[in-house]
Amino acid sequence: MKQPQQGFALIAAIVMIVVLAALAGVVASITGGQSASQQLERTTMMVEAAAQTGVEWGKYQRTVAGSCASASFPYTLTSISLSGIRILVTCNATNKISSTATFGVLASSPDFVERNITEP
């Protein structure tokens, strides 16, 4: 007489482990994608604020110093949270102020961000 087959619980446990591992991988992938997107959005907001700060600096130079003609002000932020953001403010003879803030290197950074604000 044959013995009844056993071992169904072991196979079911292995299948459950594989399914749960696959589910954990999918959740980690989705969460990681959202995190990268949120980081890029945060960087974009900081770069835009940096460009606006450059314009405000130019306005200050024009108001207090009397002119910012032919002035150029490059600055790289070094604070831990702002590290890597570069601001370039230029003023021309007509007192037009242009501020460009960048983060990353265009050719090698997938999260490169650049904002340019120009005001008369």
pLDDT digits 0-9 by tens, 75-114: 776 666 667 788 888 877 666 888 888 888 776 777 888 8
15 falls within a domain = yes
pTM equals 0.61
2 falls within a domain = no
Quote the CA–CA distance of 41 and 31 in Å, as a whole number.
Answer: 15
79 falls within a domain = yes
Residues 6+ away with beta carbon under 8 Å from 36: 111
Domain that holds residue 14: 8-119
pLDDT band per the 50, 70, 90 thresholds, residue 70: low
Range ranked top by mean pLDDT from 3-7, 82-86, 88-92, 116-120: 116-120
77 falls within a domain = yes
Dihedrals φ, ψ of 89, to 5°? -110, 130
3 falls within a domain = no
Which stretch of DSSP H or E encloses residue 1? none
How many domains does the chain contain in total?
Answer: 1
1 falls within a domain = no
For the stretch 21-56, pLDDT in tens is 999 888 887 776 667 778 888 888 988 988 888 888
39 falls within a domain = yes
The DSSP result for 44-64, as a single string, is HHHHHHHHHHHHHHHHHHHHH
**Predicted local confidence at residue 107, as pLDDT:** 64
**Predicted local confidence at residue 119, as pLDDT:** 83
40 falls within a domain = yes
